[in-house]
């Protein structure tokens, strides 16, 4: 009689379980495949959404593309071109590195990929369903990669039923789109919703991107901030007090171009505005911190919105001082440490 009960899970099931970590909703798919396009060096990215991502999420990029073998490999779990050694983890410049996104997506959706490297004559088309490759064939294609994700959670009814209304899911998608667009003003983005062009964001400078995303009236309300030290650099904009809102929308931190949430750093900004704002209003800001990757740990959670960094206190103080200086220079607040 055999008493052994422990078995390895089949890949398809293991991936489906792992997918729960990475892919919560259509917006998670948008984040992962748009970030892949950024990592591929794309200068133009087109996002197409149907039925708030429940039937189609498609991303077309003009990035580096993949060879036939890489295209196939990219769908495997822990398959990545971005991390080779453990040391690389402390010098990350890419958005991805886990090699989990595509493997997770193919476990819970139908995925079609067309990809071509510029020097190759032909590209590759792959169709996958339930982690199984159904078709792989050469195809004529423009350089770059197009990934279409159809019928998310089609094989996980419980997850599909838990999706929220179209308007809620679409709001999450817009949130991701805006974060990535703000992190990369040098990239052109087009967003199509149900075949209608919803947003066209031509490549430009940061100020232009902020105005494209939030509206022309912000042009008058942006106060630039800027600081460079040997530990970090800070750039971006805070809104004048009249841009502040009661609701907590319009707060963006990016560390090394990665959107993060940080109530600690938010507190530093609030401190800088001090009594310039009425009670319970939140300043508008889009703030970019550049920190040596060795000093931060992005490896805390698959969705990577939280980050741990050394010298928290120091960064807090620099940030607050930098904003005060910016507000002082814009004559919004008397500044004791203004530069001449």
Q: If binding is defined by CB under 6 A, does position 97 make contact with ligand ADP?
A: yes
* Region of 199 on the Ramachandran plot (φ > 0 left; ψ -120 to 50 alpha; else beta): beta
Options 59-67, 157-165, 180-188, 197-205: segment touching ligand ADP (CB under 6 A):
59-67
Q: Which residue has the tokens 């105005």?
A: 211
Q: If binding is defined by CB under 6 A, does position 299 make contact with ligand ADP?
A: no
The CB-of-100 to Mg ion minimum distance in angstroms stands at 8
Question: Rounded to whole angstroms, what are the CA distances from 112 to 32, 75, 102, 175?
Answer: 15, 11, 11, 25
Q: If binding is defined by CB under 6 A, does position 66 make contact with ligand ADP?
A: yes
User: CA-to-CA distance for 281 and 264, rounded, in angstroms?
Assistant: 17
Q: If binding is defined by CB under 6 A, does position 81 make contact with ligand ADP?
A: yes
Question: Rounded to whole angstroms, what are the CA distances from 253 to 17, 83, 89, 222?
Answer: 31, 25, 22, 15
The CB-of-12 to ligand ADP minimum distance in angstroms stands at 16
Query: If you ran DSSP here, which 8-state letter would residue 56 be given?
Result: E
Q: If binding is defined by CB under 6 A, does position 236 make contact with ligand ADP?
A: no
Options 75-83, 172-180, 215-223, 318-326: segment touching ligand ADP (CB under 6 A):
75-83
Contacts to Mg ion from residues 19-38, by CB under 5 A = 36
- Binding test (CB under 6 A) with ligand ADP, winner from 23, 29, 40, 211: 40
Q: If binding is defined by CB under 6 A, does position 107 make contact with ligand ADP?
A: no
Options 12-20, 96-104, 187-195, 292-300: segment touching Mg ion (CB under 5 A):
96-104
User: CA-to-CA distance for 311 and 265, rounded, in angstroms?
Assistant: 12
Q: If binding is defined by CB under 5 A, does position 223 make contact with Mg ion?
A: no
Query: Residues in contact with ligand ADP, total (CB under 6 A)?
Result: 23
Contacts of 202 (CB under 8 A, 6+ apart): 188, 212
Q: If binding is defined by CB under 6 A, does position 145 make contact with ligand ADP?
A: yes
In the numeric block, which tokens belong to residue 146? 């197009």
The CB-of-178 to ligand ADP minimum distance in angstroms stands at 20
User: CA-to-CA distance for 13 and 211, rounded, in angstroms?
Assistant: 45
The residues that bridge with 224 in the sheet, in sequence order, are 237
Options 53-61, 69-77, 100-108, 206-214: segment touching Mg ion (CB under 5 A):
100-108
Q: If binding is defined by CB under 5 A, does position 243 make contact with Mg ion?
A: no
Q: Which is nearer to Mg ion, 303 or 317 (CB)?
A: 303
Pair 24, 156: CB distance under 8 Å: no
- Binding test (CB under 6 A) with ligand ADP, winner from 16, 52, 62, 80: 80
Options 9-17, 98-106, 211-219, 316-324: segment touching ligand ADP (CB under 6 A):
98-106
SS (H, E, C) 248-292: CCCEEEEECCEEECCHHHHHHHHHHHHHHCCCCCECCEEEEEEEC
Q: If binding is defined by CB under 6 A, does position 63 make contact with ligand ADP?
A: yes
Q: If binding is defined by CB under 6 A, does position 45 make contact with ligand ADP?
A: no
End-to-end Cα separation, the chain, in angstroms? 86
Q: Which positions touch ligand ADP (CB under 6 A)?
A: 32, 36-37, 40, 61, 63-66, 74, 79-82, 96-103, 145
């Amino acid at each position: 009689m055999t008493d052994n009960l422990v078995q390895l899970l089949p890949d398809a099931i293991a991936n489906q379980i792992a997918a729960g970590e990475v892919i919560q909703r259509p917006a998670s798919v948008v984040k992962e495949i748009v970030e892949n396009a950024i990592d591929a060096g794309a200068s133009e990215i087109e996002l197409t959404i149907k039925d708030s991502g429940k039937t189609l999420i498609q991303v077309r990029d003009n990035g580096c593309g993949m060879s036939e073998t890489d295209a196939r490999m990219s769908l495997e779990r822990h398959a990545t071109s971005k991390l080779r050694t453990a040391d690389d983890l402390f010098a990350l410049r890419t958005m991805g590195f886990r090699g989990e996104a595509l493997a997770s997506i193919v476990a819970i959706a139908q995925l079609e990929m067309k990809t071509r490297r510029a020097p190759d004559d032909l590209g590759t088309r792959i169709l996958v369903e339930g982690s199984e490759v159904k078709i792989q064939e050469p195809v004529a294609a423009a350089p770059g990669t197009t990934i279409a994700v159809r019928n998310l959670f089609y094989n996980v009814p419980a997850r599909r039923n838990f999706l929220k209304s179209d308007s809620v899911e679409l709001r999450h998608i817009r949130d991701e789109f805006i974060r990535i667009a703000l992190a990369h003003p040098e990239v052109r983005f087009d967003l199509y919703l149900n075949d209608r062009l919803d947003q066209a964001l031509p490549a430009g400078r940061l100020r232009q991107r902020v105005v494209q995303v939030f509206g022309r009236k912000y042009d008058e309300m942006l106060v630039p901030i800027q600081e460079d030290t040997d530990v970090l650099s800070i750039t971006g904009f805070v809104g004048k007090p009249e841009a502040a809102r009661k609701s907590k929308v319009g707060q963006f931190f990016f560390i090394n171009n990665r959107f993060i949430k940080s109530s600690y750093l938010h507190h530093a900004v609030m401190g800088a505005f001090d009594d310039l704002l009425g009670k319970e209003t939140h300043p508008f800001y889009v703030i970019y911190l550049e920190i040596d990757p060795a000093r931060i740990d992005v490896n805390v959670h698959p969705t990577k919105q939280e980050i741990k960094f050394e010298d928290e206190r120091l960064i807090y103080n620099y940030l607050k001082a930098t904003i005060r200086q910016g507000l002082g220079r814009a004559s919004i607040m008397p500044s004791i440490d203004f530069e001449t």
